[in-house]
Amino acid sequence: MNKNQLRKYAKLLARTGINVKKGQWVVVQAELDQPEFVEMCVEELYRAGAGKVTVEWSHQPLVALHYKYQSAEKLSAFAQWEIEKLELRKKELPAMLYIESADPDGLSGIDQEKFTGVRSARTKVIKPYRDAMDNRYQWCIAAVPSKGWAKKVFPDLMVNTAVERLWEEILKAARADGPDPVKAWLHHNDEIGIRCDRLNAYRLTALEYKSSNGTDLRVGLIPGSRFMGGGEEDLSGRYFNPNIPSEEIFISPKAGDAEGIVYSTKPLSYQGELIEDFSVRFEGGKVVEVKAKKNQQLLEKMISMDEGAKMLGECALIAYDSPINNSGVLFYNTLFDENASCHLALGAGFTNCIRGYENMSIEELHALGINDSVIHVDFMIGSKDLEITGIAENGTRVVLFKDGNWAF
């Protein structure tokens, strides 16, 4: 891959993704797959004004080994230094850059019962810190290719060729394949903002989804909530882009207000395994039944993480005729596949989807209907004939999507 173009991608993540401020501490979390690119990111963060950059490395095969040989008790336990690190993060609020590259099948075969139990135990400790930091720092999730991921996406290519091809698709999806990715993102965010303003002007109270694959779902919205997309601001007024790429306009629906059934249209990569060809049925706002042709038990474990895991935390609108979907590439990675077409998320909602959220406590936001959970898992439901209708406060029905794409 052209190093000059990778440098532009690194600059995009530093200046548009994180939008680092002078003297700021930035933490980069990455796997060992692309150390040269991580080095570029660190340099670009410093060039953008960062005062300190810390890199935290991980390696998926080591995770598998830990789960093979350590007990659940040891894996669940927190060392004192881990608690102190959480306390420091809560106090200092560093910006966070997450660089994904995991193999979608990289944890296939591990004890999922053990994995789920450990994750649940650790998340209960981490969640109060996460809640305390919510909306108070910049963060960005982006991706680089690994050999395992590249071979999953392009199984017929030699490894090095597959990695090169995945780089090309990542940069294209991230709008980082042109001469000025930062400028391209400014234009992209402006377009998303215009559409958000139009959606918010409708003052919708519900969304109805219908598709010939069997999807027939109604989801209630929270009065005073808003559609968002592209860049956003933290409570200090710092603008950043949390996802690169991103094509979505999203809202957090009202927890406990969903009726009907929805069918997935792409595989879901969860805990290092793929869940495929599944459906989710809601009654009284909660999931009452899931079915999957592959990994149904894993899907059942996911929705049993806590009570909030059975309720919706996000409704995201993306045209079926999107750049990522039109690429014809199935990424087996939620960051990309969720931006190919419409998706929903089970689990935690976004508190900043409520107008005036900055003047409310997290308890008040949950009481309004923002879902609370230890998970937030997106799954794709967009299809070429998906229709979405919005219901306004006065009962007017507004066609938002027709034949899988925006109706306006």
322: left (phi over 0), alpha (psi -120 to 50) or beta: beta
Q: Which two tokens stand for residue 14?
A: 């530093």
Q: Among candidates 48, 57, 42, 2, which has minimal Cα distance to 23? A: 48
User: Which pLDDT value is given to residue 18?
Assistant: 98
Go through the domains of the chain in sequence order and give each one's CATH number.
3-173 (3.40.1830.10), 195-406 (no CATH)
Question: What angle do the packed helices 3-12 and 181-201 form, to 10 degrees?
Answer: 40
Is residue 97 scored above 90 in pLDDT?
yes
Residue 394: other Cβ atoms inside 10 A: 7
At 252 the three-state DSSP class reads coil
User: Which pLDDT value is given to residue 13?
Assistant: 98
Give the tens place of pLDDT for each residue, 211-236. Answer: 999 999 999 999 999 999 999 999 99
Work out the average pLDDT over 38-53.
98
Give the tens place of pLDDT for each residue, 126-139. Answer: 999 999 999 999 99
Confidence of residue 91 (pLDDT cuts 50, 70, 90): very high
Is residue 273 scored above 90 in pLDDT?
no
User: Which pLDDT value is given to residue 184?
Assistant: 96
Where is 72: in which H helix or E strand? helix 72-76
Q: Which two tokens stand for residue 250?
A: 């999203």
User: Which pLDDT value is given to residue 340?
Assistant: 92
User: Which pLDDT value is given to residue 155?
Assistant: 96
Confidence of residue 108 (pLDDT cuts 50, 70, 90): confident
Number of C-alpha atoms within 13 angstroms, CB side, residue 119? Answer: 19
User: Which pLDDT value is given to residue 112?
Assistant: 85
Work out the average pLDDT over 142-161.
97
Work out the average pLDDT over 144-151.
97
Q: What is the mean pLDDT of the chain?
A: 96
Q: Among candidates 333, 393, 281, 316, which has minimal Cα distance to 101? A: 333
Please give the order of strands across the beta sheet that includes 139-143.
52-58, 25-31, 95-100, 139-143
**Which percentage of the chain shows pLDDT scores above 70?**
100
Work out the average pLDDT over 247-255.
97
Cα–Cα distance measured from residue 70 to residue 74, given in angstroms and rounded to the nearest whole number: 6
Is residue 272 scored above 90 in pLDDT?
no
- The model carries a pTM of 0.91
Is residue 140 scored above 90 in pLDDT?
yes
Question: What angle do the packed helices 112-133 and 80-92 form, to 10 degrees?
Answer: 40
